[in-house]
A and B are shown apart, each in its own frame.
Chain A
Amino acid sequence: MLLDPEELNRKHQRWIALVTEMHAEFQFTRNASVAWTNLGKPLSESTVALVCTAGIHLKSQPAYDLLNPHGDWSFREIPGDAPAQAIGVSHSHYDTEAPQRDIDCVFPIRTLRTLVARGVVGAAAKTHYGMMGFVPNGTPIVEETAPEIARRLAADGVDAALLTPG
């Protein structure tokens, strides 16, 4: 079902009011134009990667910087075969209780493996990516983080990606 533009507009106005009250330095960052790529083959023959901004990382990796008021736009590599128990969550701007108990609530790594086993998806990428999405000014994501993740996924032969927030 497509969304009601009036409902979207009401939600958007509420969001702007809330964010500008909470984060004086917040700069709304949007894409200059929306890109488009056709998959070009069935999902069942495609390699799919996950990118999650919910603050996920391997527990063996450094956590994200939750104290910097400008956020943390670094990323973490998550091996496609990482066990769910090896993945932790560091994020201060939403309630992480659910993903701490079940990482697939935000980062469907086991779910993707199930879809591969069922033949819905061709293969899981050898590496997925985690980020911590609290970055009030998105410019460093546009200029640094996003192109680097895109370059790595393309080099790995990834055809499609599912992105999830916190």
Chain B
Amino acid sequence: MCHQSVGLVQNALEAAGIATVSVSVRPEITAYVGVPRAAYLRFPTGQPLGEVGQPHQHEAITQAALQLIETAKEPGTIVELPFRWRRMPRVVGGGD
């Protein structure tokens, strides 16, 4: 249901002149609600941007998702990002 809420807010932002992208781990919900652009990852709920203590993974995924704002050509674009779960080397720290 988080995905439904994301899609409803996303569309309102887009209609207000803000270009948006959402991250989705449930593309069927995202597609049903209807959003301008979404980045799909085969990740578990609660960790759509990656694993705990993986700032480089979060950064790569966030950057790839944001770049969809520049590259997507039409409303309803959902692109699967080429990241896989538990394949990134763990790093320590990287927080505030």
Contact = CB atoms under 8 A, between A and B. Distances in A.
A163 B9 contact: yes
Contacts of A71: 1
A54 B24 CA distance: 12
B53 A102 contact: yes
B66 A121 contact: yes
Interface string A82-107: 01110000010111111101101110
B12 A106 contact: no
A132 to B, nearest CB: 8
B80 A3 contact: yes
Given A95-B46, A105-B49, A108-B62, A31 B18 contact: no
A42 B70 CA distance: 7
A134 B18 contact: no
Given A1-B80, A99-B46, A133 B36 contact: no
B63 A120 contact: yes
Contact of B6 (A99, A104, A105, A133): A133
Nearest to B33: A30
Contact of B65 (A94, A106, A131, A162): A162
A54 B66 contact: no
Given A11-B28, A36-B75, A163-B9, A133 B46 contact: no
Given A54-B46, A154-B16, 13 more contacts: A35-B11, A35-B12, A37-B17, A37-B19, A102-B54, A104-B58, A111-B49, A146-B11, A150-B12, A161-B13, A165-B3, A165-B23, A166-B45
Interface of B: 1-29, 31-36, 40, 45-55, 58-59, 62-63, 65-67, 69-70, 74-76, 78-80, 82, 94-96
